[in-house]
């Protein structure tokens, strides 16, 4: 595997380690960690620091609200960064999100396909399949988007992304991702708000494609 050069930002790694990320983002972060030794080490360091803080903290009485929040966190099953066991190109967390079934691809046009793994009030999680040289329509963001490359590559205004690389996009970024040469680009993408397409036709089709 090529060297991974685009990693999880520290703030997201800390939020993941403390169980404070929405589930769709947890899956992407867990998948990246399963592919990236550097981010796995960072995640384990955050877990260790959390344990030290708890060990050094004095006992205090908890309010009813804080008890409820704590119980909610305990009930929340965080997606674990499974070791790099793979089913084809899909690491463990993606296989789990697929429920061990193949992706159900649906065409978005021009050879681009998607398979929606999850869609709800906290956001959406999907696989994207983009043929070599094909672009995704120019778009911005209403929130956060995490895109992790599982096969092939893509490039945009911010740089080039290969297998294991993670792009973090927010409402400051407008871009036109283009799949690289070679194998089709397959990405795992999570968003917490609809994209902002700059062209009329993608905006028209957006409700149908749920992106």
CB atoms inside a 10 Å sphere around CB 171: 13
- Please give the pLDDT value at position 127: 98
Note the pLDDT tens digit of each residue in 52-85. Answer: 444 455 555 655 665 555 455 445 566 767 554 4
Domain ranges of the chain: 1-211
Question: 68-104 burial, b if ≥16 CB within 10 A, otherwise e?
Answer: eeeeeeeeeebbebbeeeeeeebbbbbbbbbeeeebe
C-alpha distances (whole Å) from 141 to each of 77, 85, 106, 165, 169 are 28, 33, 22, 20, 7
Question: Average pLDDT of the chain?
Answer: 86
Q: How far apart are CA 153 and CA 186, in angstroms?
A: 8
CATH of domain 1-211: 2.60.120.10
Structure tokens, 19: 């169980």
């Amino acid at each position: 595997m090529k060297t991974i050069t685009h990693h999880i930002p520290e703030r997201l790694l800390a939020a993941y380690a403390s169980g404070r990320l929405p589930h769709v983002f947890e899956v992407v972060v867990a998948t990246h960690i399963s592919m990236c030794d550097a981010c796995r080490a960072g995640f384990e360091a955050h877990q260790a620091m959390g344990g030290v803080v708890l060990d050094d903290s004095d006992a205090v009485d908890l309010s009813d609200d804080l008890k409820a929040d704590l119980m909610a966190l305990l009930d929340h099953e965080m997606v674990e960064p499974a070791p790099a066991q793979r089913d084809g190109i899909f690491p463990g967390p993606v296989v789990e999100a697929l429920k061990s079934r193949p992706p159900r691809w649906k065409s978005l046009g021009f050879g681009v396909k998607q398979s929606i793994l999850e869609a709800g009030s906290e956001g959406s999680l999907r696989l994207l399949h983009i043929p070599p040289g094909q672009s995704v329509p120019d778009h911005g963001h209403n929130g956060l988007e995490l895109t992790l490359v599982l096969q092939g590559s893509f490039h945009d205004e911010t740089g080039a992304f290969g297998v294991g690389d993670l792009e973090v996009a927010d409402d400051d970024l407008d871009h036109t991702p283009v799949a690289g040469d070679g194998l089709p680009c397959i990405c795992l993408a999570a968003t917490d708000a609809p994209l902002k397409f700059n062209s009329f036709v993608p905006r028209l089709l957006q409700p149908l494609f749920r992106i």
